[in-house]
Structure 1
Amino acid sequence: MLDQQDPAGMAALSICEALLLALQDRNVLPEREIVGILRDAAETHENADGSDSERQLHAATAGLINEILEEGNLTRNS
């Protein structure tokens, strides 16, 4: 799970959420495209390599993205 004490991570997540919602609200990207972006991002982290600590961070990041997808926290119907 995201470390709630990481202000840079929280800021990045908030900015990305706002951008994706704005793109959807303005009919620039449909929900399926936004879901695709999130799935691609999760897959990138799921397949990332590195040290044990780096792989743990990537796994946690992928988990967070997948939670967003599963719970529908990011996309909404306009």
Structure 2
Amino acid sequence: MSEQDIYSGIAALTLCESLLLALNDARVLPESEIMGIVRDAAATHENASGSEEELEKHKAVAALINRIISSGNSVRRI
């Protein structure tokens, strides 16, 4: 993976988290709905199919999302 790919991933994660926070702050979505979105994202990767290489990437993505959930870094609550 190139440095540009890493930077793109970090930027995307930051933007998504900011959007979720803004949706919560503006009372567009409650925290429970936002957490549902985040959990759905993890589940999508946990249940993905593909080659061994693709499955490895999906497992890593799911693990990262689950660490974000459990560490409390997402949506100010958690």
TM-score range (shorter-chain normalised) is 0.7 to 0.9
Larger relative contact order (CA 8 Å, sep ≥ 6): 1
TM-score under structure 1 normalisation? 0.87
- How does 1:7-46 map onto structure 2 within 5 Å? 7-46=7-46
Q: Distance in 2 between matches of 1:64 and 1:54?
A: 15
Q: Which runs of 5 or more residues in structure 2 are unaligned? A: none
Q: Which amino acid aligns with 1:32?
A: S
Equivalence for 1:76: 76
- 4+ aligned runs moved over 4 Å, structure 1: none
2:54 partner SS:
helix
Q: Which runs of 5 or more residues in structure 1 are unaligned? A: none
Q: Distance in 1 between matches of 2:30 and 2:72?
A: 14
When structure 1 is superposed on structure 2, of 5-14 and 41-50 the one drifting more is 5-14
Give identity over the alignment, percent: 57
